[in-house]
Amino acid sequence: MMKKKIVGLVLMAAVAVGAIIITGYSYHLVDAAAEADGLPVEIIVVASELPRDQPLAAKSGDPKVRFEGGWALTSRHKDFGGFSGLVVDSENNSLVAISDKGDWWQASFDARGFSPPAAGIMQGYSPGMVADKKDLDAESLIRFEGGFLVSFEHNHRLEFVKEAGTAGVAPPLAAINFGGVSMNSGMEAITRLESGQLLAFAERGRDGGGRQKAWLVSADKVDNIWFKPPVNFSPTDAATLPNGDVLVLLRQFSAIDGVAIKVHRIKVAEIVAGVTLIGDEILHLTPEFPVDNMEGLDVVALDDDTVRLVMISDDNFNSFQRTLLMMFDYDYR
């Protein structure tokens, strides 16, 4: 009798495991079919909270910046990760991120609270578009004219997208001359100024004075400017404060020391044609902090004096890295 019970339990367990495997297999078949048709796929995101008692004061360039917390995010979806651009919509409690494969992630997210995104949808950049690295290597994302403006490197360009997952078109902006810019050093960071102009930063390519190319772009012209980042740091994203000043997210990577992050603030009055921008450091995170390859930045106004910086990391689809979503409050006035 005992043997029969054991055999029965083993059979039940085998059936249950088989059902799980079949369900997972069917799940991926459904995903693949939807993605082939250019349709969004619902995903589940697991968020593990980061320790909130970090000694930020010792690493912050400005005592007015406070770490409010964050999460390490994972999902079973094969294309989740690699996020290089981020837009947070505090009015509609949502976020949109784009990866360096050109995939969009859209999710509910209250940036003024402290609840992580727990689901959302993944969708390819545009139905029918060939998944070629040089065409889909998105690096920065901003709200623009009721839609989104996306910057790409390798095949350097800006594209205006009315809605995530729809075909991109050339924006109503003057064309940038990318002469002398290497394939992997294009517009890594973009933000729109109060004037309506676009401020764009190259990722690499320093001259003898430590300056990198940047561009001030309007509808009818492009003004060349320069940005001088800290030694060994490169810009990865930018965002505009309510008063018009610009924050630039900067990353340093060392195979020995790991990743470090800085944020510089540039006064809007300094952003004029021909200038060399530097900015003032407001945040410095060293490898002791739970930080990764932070590449996406947006800001949300909490009140007249305070904004919340929201950052997301690009894990490069590497199992040794993480997708982090982090929040910092900044009394910017």
Residues 9 and 103 in one domain: no
Residue 258 has pLDDT above 90, yes or no: no
Strands 234-240 and 246-254 turn out to be antiparallel
Burial (CB < 10 A; 0-12, 13-18, 19+), residue 105, is: buried
Using a pLDDT cut of 90, give the percent of the chain over it: 66
Residues 159 and 58 in one domain: yes
Tokens 């060349």 correspond to 224
Express each pLDDT in 161-179 by its tens digit: 998 888 788 999 999 988 8
Total structural domains in the chain?
A: 2
> Looking at residue 60, what is its pLDDT?
59
Q: Which domain holds residue 75?
A: 38-331
Residue 298 has pLDDT above 70, yes or no: yes
Average pLDDT over residues 149-158: 92
Residues 79 and 20 in one domain: no
Residues 156 and 231 in one domain: yes
Residues 123 and 77 in one domain: yes
**Residue 179: C-alpha distances to residues 136, 176, 182, 202, 211 (Å):** 20, 9, 8, 12, 16
The size of the chain, in residues, is 333
Which CATH number belongs to the domain containing residue 173 in this structure?
2.115.10
Residues 30 and 159 in one domain: no
Residues 206 and 218 in one domain: yes
- Which one has a higher pLDDT value, 187 or 181? 187
Confidence of residue 127 (pLDDT cuts 50, 70, 90): low
Residue 140 has pLDDT above 70, yes or no: yes
Average pLDDT, the chain: 86
Residues 136 and 80 in one domain: yes
30-44, 209-223, 271-285: the lowest-pLDDT one: 30-44
Which distant-in-sequence residues (6+ apart) come within 8 Å of 173 by Cβ? 158, 198, 217, 218, 219
Token pair for 77: 């979806």
Residues 308 and 161 in one domain: yes
From 99, 97, 75, select the one nearest 88 (Cα to Cα). 97
Express each pLDDT in 61-84 by its tens digit: 677 999 999 999 999 999 999 999
Residue 223 has pLDDT above 80, yes or no: yes
Average pLDDT over residues 258-277: 96
Residues 126 and 211 in one domain: yes
Which distant-in-sequence residues (6+ apart) come within 8 Å of 313 by Cβ? 83, 291, 292, 293, 294, 295, 296, 321, 322, 323, 324, 325
Residues 11 and 147 in one domain: no
Residues 51 and 73 in one domain: yes
Q: Is the pTM of this model over 0.85?
A: yes
